[in-house]
Structure 1
Amino acid sequence: MSLHVVLVHPEIHWNTGNAGRTCLATGAVLHLIEPLGFSLGEREVKRAGLDYWAHVDLRVWKTWADFEAALPQFGEPWFFSARGRQPFWDAPLAAGEGTVLVFGRETGGLPPALHERYAERFVTLPMSASPPIRSLNLSTSVGIAVYEVLRQRRVTQT
């Protein structure tokens, strides 16, 4: 069963680096959809302290449309948003042969067109009703979601 993490237009290299670390630790593939808010050049990666980066199964896509055309070969997509319709733990994230977890950019989330096209596949990470909190950090969200997929797979395998 394959697991894929997709960051659509990520803006902060630290978050992308942390997501890459999670992917490496769990055997997931990391997909980055351009434009990126940072460079993947060797100098920038080294400066961010990402000495493991060369080991991440990384795929970079020029556009969402390019990735979307290939999406069926990767598995069932789930889109994460503070505006999702159902809590992520109520969604069958691990059903099927592959799981694709899609996250938007730090400052704006996923584009409205994706919210419209995939509305029933949007999930949210529940949070307290505390007014100052709008969303969780991107790399934190990736970690929570990836490990929920692994938990669900473990439950279905036993």
Structure 2
Amino acid sequence: MTNHIVLYEPLMPANTGNIARTCAATGATLDLIYPLGFELSDRNMKRAGLDYWDNVNIVEHDDLNAFMATLPSTEHLYLITKFSDLIYTDQDFSDTASDHYFMFGKETTGLPEDFMHQYRDHCLRIPMTDKVRALNLANTAAIVIYEAVRQQGFAGLEEHHVYPHDKWK
């Protein structure tokens, strides 16, 4: 089982770099749906991801249809949007026999409206006040992926960090 953070046409390289670092920390795959608003060699993206790039599995897709064609089913496809009555914490992500795909839209316009309508039963939201239009994309991805790995018992993640020195005892 693999969790996937799927970015639909991301525009901001620093967001994608930060999300890549979150993928490295959680073992998630980063799926990028073209076109991107930057080059993968962008130094802002590379800087945000620090030196973790070797630990990130990045899968590139030519467009939304090409991405959808790679899914074995849409059962575990989740569209993260503020336009949903379903809250992400109410969803069961504990199935460790299947991959889970958490799709996030473009920073400026989100996911295509017709696509969200087609998969409206797969839409999830993070509650927030009406004082902001949206949360930062990298923060949103981190919130959702960590809920998924929590429900999956933090499988494959280090739950207790062993300090290298006795000074912490």
Please tell me the residue identity of whatever aligns with 1:29.
T
Name the TM-score, length of structure 1 as normaliser: 0.88
Matching residue of 2:20: 20
Name the TM-score, length of structure 2 as normaliser: 0.82
Q: In the TM superposition, what are the counterparts of 1:99-138 in structure 2 within 5 Å?
A: 99-129=100-130, 131=131, 133-138=132-137
Q: In the TM superposition, what are the counterparts of 1:41-60 in structure 2 within 5 Å?
A: 41=41, 45-46=45-46, 50-60=50-60
Q: Runs (4+) of structure 1 moved beyond 6 Å? A: none
Q: Which ranges in structure 2 are unaligned for 5 or more consecutive residues?
A: 155-169
Please tell me the residue identity of whatever aligns with 2:142.
G
Identity of aligned residues (%): 38
**Matched residues, number:** 153
CA offsets, 1:91-129, max 9 Å, x none? 113335221100001111100121111001100000124
Shift of 1:43: 5.3
Shift of 1:146: 0.5
Q: Which has the higher strand share?
A: 1
Q: Which ranges in structure 1 are unaligned for 5 or more consecutive residues?
A: none
For 2:106 and 2:38, the matched residues in 1 are separated by 12
CA offsets, 1:36-85, max 9 Å, x none? 01101275654556332233100111111011011126961011001122
CA RMSD of aligned residues (A): 2.1
Secondary structure of the structure 2 residue equivalent to 1:140 = helix
The range that moved more, 134-143 or 49-58, is 49-58
Q: Is the 8 A contact 2:21 2:49 kept in 1?
A: no
Q: Which has the higher helix share?
A: 1
